Chain A
């Protein structure tokens, strides 16, 4: 085992020292909170608002940093820095709202303006801060891309408390948030203030961004809210489950990412967590059972084969020639036809069975027309999987009776 893997293993099992354990747990809790808030942000189509909030924290951070170093000489008093970040992010989000509602600009354009301008102002202020004689400017740079290694015990405690509080608020607001995300007009008629719910969602996003500054940094904080939520969407069709899944994926991404970054020197935590979350997203995109890309592709291919087999067998039954390459290949593979296209004995039986299934289905659908039956029929489900044995026997008897009736009529017809 090389050094990296042994480091990683001890980090993942929280045995890599107190500080590393602190960072892993803090990042996991942060991921849980960000995942659940991010789900509602995604469903409300406000994911990018958290990016605006992230970048808009910078001016506040730097202003508080400068004030602190003037006033006290120690510019790293975390609560004040976070308060500054929160205030300037709030101003940023309010500006987005204002630009969007007062002009005809779409929200994404408003977000683009606010994000770049606030970040630009922040960078200019940072240059001012660089010229101060505090020698603590490195602490400021850590907030850009995150520097979890320097996380203190009380910072981890703050993250834990905020994450717990956020989860409670999300639970309490799940119904109105759900209503506003699904159909804002309807929510309004139910007496909900959409504006107030959007404000609540903004405050939740802002809190996530502020507590994530030390871990992932303000530039990448958006990854924590967007990626777990979009990954979760692949695994479920239910909003409540989606919140749980996003929280779990976010927590796992934060935990593993933090462990990875603490196992080697100089790997920025924010970037590593973002890449870990991206791997989780990629796995979800490809592997999720219902909505994943692979599952969809496999379902499509397997249904196509079933359609071709069924069409081929019905053509065999009617004695029609088959030209389609895939149909021929599938029938040959099942040993239903010979090389020259003539049906084998097994093929003849299978063809008969397919035709019979089709006739039974036609008869059944004449007797009962329900949406469920129609769907099963179009999915080519064999009728013996749909009906009980007794019902199937009865249907077969009726088919027999009708067939002999038809025959009788034909004979009658021939006689006259």
Chain B
């Protein structure tokens, strides 16, 4: 474990972290998918979970969100268990996880993010409609509110999911592969949306498949391969040794160079 304390100045250490994981273990059948994972995402950080295929990245966030059960471990969101802080967490699942032929339009799906406020019977007011419109505006889908979701491109579907998280007005945003198989325009839009959230004091945690671009977007990182190899500020975590330990022989020299280069690019202006 190479946890370091050299966080950027805007991160406050005196308050509870947005997410703290202690000794999380999840198993399917007899084998651990995650083993004794520790992690901390400070408030206002933009964190990324990276690791090879089968490292348990999606399982980790599903365990954090109570979608898959855990064998052991403790999870605190802003110092409290999930059940007490549900309204402060927004989840963006993988786009491929649902049937897009479902009878709903874009605005219907985004309005699902309001469920915790609306409950069973509270009225869906003009104010709610306005918030849905605004969320769509932020991801650049304002013209698509009434479109059937099956007619959207992959990138647009991803934006709908992000808009559904935005409308919730949460403090911690957890995204599962938000940039997977989307067009370059969507990746730019979404990265800008997430960066703006962080500027407004929100916390973002993503699973990200592309190791070489992780350093472009994120301030904090966790290297995961069933066990947590390292976590903390990204420039401290992305050391050649730790990356090699995470990916084994799968990491090419070119990839390492590219990461070193983009980390150097981050360091120079500041």
Interface positions of A (Cβ within 8 A of B): 43, 172-173, 175-176, 178-179, 181-183, 185-186, 188-192, 233, 236-239, 241-242, 370-372
Contacts and interface: CB of A to CB of B under 8 A. Distances in A.
Nearest to B147: A237
Contacts of B252: none
Interface in B120-135: 120-121
Interface in B84-119: 86, 89, 91, 93, 97-98, 102-105, 108-109, 112, 115-116, 118-119
13 contacts: A173-B120, A175-B115, A183-B97, A185-B67, A185-B97, A188-B65, A190-B115, A190-B116, A191-B83, A192-B115, A237-B104, A371-B143, A371-B144
A351 B54 CA distance: 58
B103 A185 contact: no
A181 B115 contact: no
Contact of B121 (A172, A237, A239, A371): A172
Contacts of A371: 143-144
B73 interface: no
Given A188-B67, A189-B65, A372-B143, A179 B103 contact: no
Given A189-B65, A191-B86, A181 B97 contact: no
Contacts of B118: 175
Chain B interface residue bracket vs A = 20 to 34
Nearest to B148: A237
B105 A237 contact: yes
B184 to A, nearest CB: 14
A183 B118 CA distance: 18
Contact of A188 (B66, B102, B109, B150): B66
A222 B87 CA distance: 39
Contacts of A185: 62, 65, 67, 91, 93, 97
Given A183-B98, A189-B65, 16 more contacts: A43-B102, A176-B115, A176-B120, A178-B112, A185-B93, A185-B97, A186-B112, A189-B86, A189-B89, A189-B91, A190-B116, A237-B105, A238-B103, A238-B104, A370-B143, A371-B144
Nearest to B156: A371
Main secondary structure of the interface of A (DSSP, over half): helix
A43 B97 CA distance: 15
A233 B104 CA distance: 11
A182 B66 contact: no
Nearest to A191: B86
B104 A189 contact: no
A11 B177 CA distance: 60
Nearest to B102: A182
B91 A186 contact: yes
A41 B148 CA distance: 21
A182 B120 contact: no
A413 B242 CA distance: 63
Interface in B61-79: 62, 65-67
B103 A175 contact: no
A311 to B, nearest CB: 25
A172 B118 CA distance: 12
Cβ-closest 10 pairs across A and B: A189-B91, A237-B148, A189-B65, A191-B86, A185-B67, A183-B98, A190-B115, A239-B103, A237-B103, A242-B103
| Max count, chain B CB within 10 A of own CB: residue among A43, A175, A372 | A175
Interface string B2-25: 000000000000000000000000
Contact of B104 (A182, A186, A191): A182
Contacts of A241: 103
Nearest to A243: B103
Nearest to A178: B112
B108 A238 contact: yes
Contacts of A190: 86, 112, 115-116
A233 B150 CA distance: 14
Contacts of B120: 172-173, 175-176
Nearest to B109: A182
Given A188-B65, A237-B105, A237-B148, A182 B112 contact: yes
| Max count, chain B CB within 10 A of own CB: residue among A239, A370, A372 | A239
Nearest to A174: B120
A191 B83 CA distance: 8
